[in-house]
Amino acid sequence: MNADPAGVGQLGDRAGTVDVARERAQTVGVRSAHHLNAAGAALPPVAVVDEVVAHLRREEHEGGYEAAAAVAGRIEELYAAAARVVCAAPEEIALADSATTGLRVIVDALRLNGSSRLLVSRSTYVSHALHLLSLAADTGAELVVIPSGADGAVDLERLERLLTGGPRDVVCVAHVPTSSGLVEPVREIGALTRRSGAAYLLDATQSVGQLRVDVGEIGCDALVTTGRKFLRAPRGTGFAYVRGAFLERLVPVAPDVRGAVWTGAREWSLSPTARRLETWESSVAGRLGLRTALHQLLERGIDVTGAYLASTANVLRQGLAAIGGVTVRDPASSASGIVTFTVDGLEAEAVSRRLAKRDVRTVSVPASHGQWDLGWRGVPSVVRASVHVYNDDSDVAALLDAVAEIARGAVQR
């Protein structure tokens, strides 16, 4: 295998204080494939898997409720760890089974009506977009897709003109989209929403775990993220942040015994914390795995992690751009660990399948997952490669060599 397929240098001098060899030793999946799909579901560390399996074994012997009671203190530690990751307070954290669920519960709790205005970024993920489109159709709320600037990000001047002032405006932005390596200017958006009084909801599914996220600096009222992606936690886990003062606006459509108390025949009271948005049933084993994953991230360092991922992704972009017949589809300013590209003459799904046959794991993202982004750009689909701290030079070389071979084959057909 070519040690430096694109002449862009090795990752060793870019690793900073990430001990990539140690991360690989703690990640079983790197032994069988070049896994470049952290934005879909990252490879979990051994410690996370061990935590999950151990609790399932405990449930096997003691019963689910009994096992949950025994680890209640460790679940409380999960709230504190999640709060540390996004620079919030533990009472501002709610646990969920996914970012999609967390965002849906928050938006529904706003009780939108015909006077509401939804201002959404082009980077909005399909599940959130479909929910908002459905709500707009049902309630009569106005839905406006915020125009993008030349760099592909939210056009801040246009957003400022769209804001009417007051809480009727609800701004929804994806920090990093599923369809490119773009990073939205979330702090600048926060400054605009604070001045106007609009609500600001941030989908941080693809950013928490790889980028520094400080909800105070960003100025968002609520944030959601998932466990399985850059946090390297089990599937079916996630959490939300809700700013304390904003919580008063949220009245859950379906109160649950976890976040509410039935106080009389027709009365109930809601939890004064973000837990009013939670439901009783959950995977305790999965949440223990999330706790372990968050602790590992905090120990490694978020800034260090983000720097390594951005640097590795940049090496990939440079290498892909040097291959004939390959087009990098990320905006030029992309600074995340997500890389998207296309190969002339081949559908993205076909490219991803051919890469998989070479033990290189990527995913194809169709325009149906991002109509306001890929559809708007006229790109039917992209191949998405996304890196993490367990990826090294061998993974970069494997992807670039395989893509070059596939691109040559497409030209020769």
| pLDDT value for 6 | 39
CA 291 – CA 233 distance, rounded (Å):
8
> What pLDDT is stored for residue 217 in this prediction?
98
Between strands 34-35 and 360-361, the pairing is: parallel
Q: Which residue, among 231, 225, 181, has the nearest Cα to 203 in the 3D structure? A: 225
Q: Is 276 exposed, middle or buried (0-12, 13-18, 19+ CB in 10 A)?
A: buried
User: Quick check: 12 pLDDT over 80?
Assistant: no
For residue 44, pLDDT beyond 60: yes
Q: How confident is the model at residue 412 (pLDDT cuts 50, 70, 90)?
A: low
Is the pLDDT at 43 greater than 80? The verdict is: yes
How far apart, in whole angstroms, are the C-alpha atoms of residue 219 and residue 180?
Answer: 24
- The beta-strand segments (E) located in 257-375 are 260-264, 267-270, 326-328, 338-343, 360-361, 363-366
4: pLDDT confidence band, cut at 50, 70 and 90?
Answer: very low
Q: Where are the domains of the chain?
A: 12-44+301-412, 49-299
* Res. 413: pLDDT tops 90: no
CA angle 376, 380, 381 (to 5 degrees): 110
- Mean pLDDT, residues 84-109 taken together: 97
Mean pLDDT of 145-152: 94
Read off the pLDDT of each residue in 185-207 and give the average, rounded to a whole number: 98
CATH 3.40.640.10 fits 49-299, yes or no: yes
As a whole number, mean pLDDT of residues 53-76 equals 98
Q: What is the mean pLDDT of residues 27-37?
A: 97
Report pLDDT digits (tens) over 299-354: 999 999 999 999 999 999 999 999 999 999 999 889 999 999 999 999 999 999 99
Quote the percentage of the chain above a pLDDT of 90: 93
In DSSP terms, 34 is beta-bridged to 360
Residue 297 confidence (pLDDT) above 50: yes
Strands 363-366 and 142-145: what pairing?
unpaired
Q: What is the reported pLDDT for 2? A: 41
Q: How far apart are CA 337 and CA 302, in angstroms?
A: 13
Instruction: Kindly state the tokens that stand for 87.
Output: 């620079």
Band (pLDDT 50/70/90 cuts) for residue 9 is very low
Q: Tell me the mean pLDDT in the region 154-171.
A: 95
* Average pLDDT of the chain, as a whole number: 95
Report the DSSP pairing between strands 326-328 and 338-343: antiparallel
Q: 3-class DSSP state for residue 270?
A: strand
Residue 239 CB-half CA count within 13 A: 32
CATH architecture of the domain 12-44+301-412 equals: Alpha-Beta Complex (3.90)
Q: Specify the range with the lowest mean pLDDT, choosing from 63-77, 195-209, 339-353, 397-411.
A: 397-411
Q: What is the pTM of this model?
A: 0.94
Mean pLDDT of 226-240: 98
The pLDDT assigned to 166 comes to: 85
Which is more confidently placed, 1 or 216? 216
> How far from 61 is each of 57, 65, 74, 119, 357, CA to CA, in Å?
6, 11, 19, 50, 41
Which residues face 119 on adjacent strands?
Answer: 144, 171
How far apart CA 142 and CA 124 sit, in angstroms, is: 16
pLDDT value of position 8: 40
